[in-house]
Structure 1
Amino acid sequence: MVDIHVTINNKTFATVKAPTIADFKLSLNSGEFVCLVGASGCGKTTLLNIIADLDHDYDGDILVDKQHKIPKIGYIFQNPRLLPWRTVRENIELVLEDQHAASTIDALLETMQLTQHQHVYADRLSLGMSRRVSIIRAFAINPDILLMDEPFVSLDPPTARQVRALLLQLWQHRPHTVLFVTHDLREAIILADKLIFLSATPMQIISEISVPIPRHERHNEQAVETFRQQLLNDHPKISQLL
């Protein structure tokens, strides 16, 4: 695990005169689970793409443990992006160079409760199961940082709760630095060590708030709701981002 420091002085798309991101600085501590919360279109996905080295057209720096280098990325998109003609296990094996990684795959499948479905073709999976496979695929490469772009969007609430709980279980067994985008403040509170609230364009950080609820109490809906209400009362601008 590594510390990652992001500086974006300016990110402007050619079709838009005003910058999408400006004077932006973000630090992620090793093993930290950070949730980004901001209005649609503010630049969250653009930020993830810059960190993932998918977008080079910006003025800024990405430092990994104080060095200029590209971090090893596990990227979980809103769309699971599985190959439908391959099985669950084959989709995971595609990202692994080590042909002797069977034990790693076995452990990840067990944690995410997919062992019995490992030979099912991806186009036969439910959306919730597909999301679990995409999470396994990202963890399997042992990345420096996991980028997660609203991975539970469009799931029904019970399925989202199940996959969220499985993600946390996997993360606690295999700690990684995580940057997670969500519009759901309850979800952010359940998952995060730290919440980062973002302004509209040009995107900047409005506030950084640590979540004080112990992890073993995050399943307590009343504790989560109490803290959520406290945030909204203490920081009225937050409600405009949700």
Structure 2
Amino acid sequence: MTAIHIDIASKVYPPKHRKQPAHQAIAKFGLSVADNEFVCLVGPSGCGKTTLLNIIAGLDDQYQGKIVLGQQQHSPRIGYVFQNPRLLPWHSVRENIELAAPQPLATDLLDSLLETMQLTAVQNAYPEHLSLGMSRRVAIIRAFAIDPDILLMDEPFVSLDAPTARQVRDLLLRLWIQRPHTVLFVTHDLREAIALADRLVFLSAPPMRVISGIKVPIARNQRNDEQAIESFRQQLLNNHPAIKQLL
């Protein structure tokens, strides 16, 4: 079981210059995520979402508080999909994925991942020959290939045009349904969040804190229904007008 329990009293960045004040990015932040739950974090740009993911991933330990990942005696595997795909340009698609795995991947498993994400035809291509959407799909497979207990995703579809983002989002959901993990997905796109999440968590401007958490009532088999997504989005905005200021 790999639930996430977050209790951050304070995360402060020191001033870059002597005359500038320190920047408090996070204060009194508490959040729990259930095992295999897909949670989307929605908040304004610069509010501290990436900082939070870096703390959970263990890339930033300069904070006051506590992060508990799963059971104390178990060290969970964490997959991280960054905004930039970060593919090694001198390796092919297949090699980029294989290099991330802690042990050799079974051929049939990798073939299945490539097929699910519609990348079989370009598995031997190099990153310079891929579109941005393809590169992001490779980054998603690379994170899933380590069989993570927890998957952190930092606006992985940013800069994609709407049709491409929708395609990659649908492929991600298909892969997640096949291989469920606990997911924290950062976005500022409310429609995207509704299409993906079991629960939406709305975050404030710095110092970041949780404003509200709202379950998404739309069934998984209706997440491609744009009318249903838009209807729920309008309902959220009407019932919680403060959300508009976070987008």
TM-score by length of 1: 0.97
Counterpart-to-counterpart distance in 2, 1:229 and 1:42: 23
Q: Which runs of 5+ in 2 are unaligned?
A: 16-20
State the alpha-carbon separation in 1 of the partners of residues 199 and 141 from structure 2: 23
Report if aligned partners of 1:147, 1:179 keep a CA contact under 8 Å in 2: yes
Match of 2:5 in 1: 5
Amino acid at match of 1:157: A
Q: Which residue does the alignment assign to 1:101?
A: 106
AA at the equivalent of 1:191:
L
Matched, 1:230 2:235: yes
**1:38, distance to aligned residue in structure 2 (A):** 0.4
Following superposition, the deviation at residue 69 of structure 1 comes to 6.6
Range 14-23 or range 218-227, more displaced: 14-23
Could you report, residue by residue, the CA deviation over 1:141-164 in whole angstroms, capped at 9, with x for unpaired residues? Answer: 011111100000000111111100
3-state SS of paired residue (1:63): strand
Report the Cα distance in structure 2 between the residues aligned to 1:70 and 1:47, rounded to whole angstroms. Answer: 19
Query: CA distance change for structure 1 residues 239 and 30 in 2, over 3 Å: closer, same or farther?
Result: same
Closer/same/farther in 2, CA of residues 100 and 70 from structure 1, 3 Å limit: closer
- 1:89 alignment partner in structure 2: 94
Root mean square deviation of aligned Cα: 1.3
Aligned to 2:80: 75
Counterparts in 2 of 1:122-133, with a 5 A limit? Answer: 122-133=127-138
Report the secondary structure of 1:94's partner residue: helix
In structure 2, the partner of 1:37 is 42
Shift of 1:19: 1.7
Q: Is residue 190 from structure 1 mapped to residue 187 from structure 2 by the alignment?
A: no
- Out of 211, 215, 219, the position equivalent to 2:220 is 215
Give how far 1:66 is off: 4.5
2:8 and 2:64 in contact (8 A); partners too: yes
**Residue 26 (structure 2) aligned to one of 9, 21, 28:** 21
User: Which amino acid in 2 is paired with 1:181?
Assistant: V
Who is 1:48 aligned against? 53
Percentage of pairs with the same residue? 67
How far off its partner does 1:211 sit?
0.1
Taking the aligned partners of 1:148 and 1:57, their CA distance within structure 2 comes to: 21
Give the unaligned 5+ runs of structure 1.
none
The answer to whether the 8 Å contact 2:2/2:71 transfers is no
Deviation at 1:106, TM superposition (A): 1.0
Q: After TM superposition, which residue ranges in structure 1, 4 or more long, deviate above 3 angstroms?
A: 68-71
**Distance (whole Å) between structure 2 residues aligned to residue 197 and residue 115 of structure 1:** 37
TM-score, length basis structure 2: 0.95
Distance 1:185 1:100, change over 3 A: closer
> What is the Cα deviation at residue 116 of structure 1?
1.3
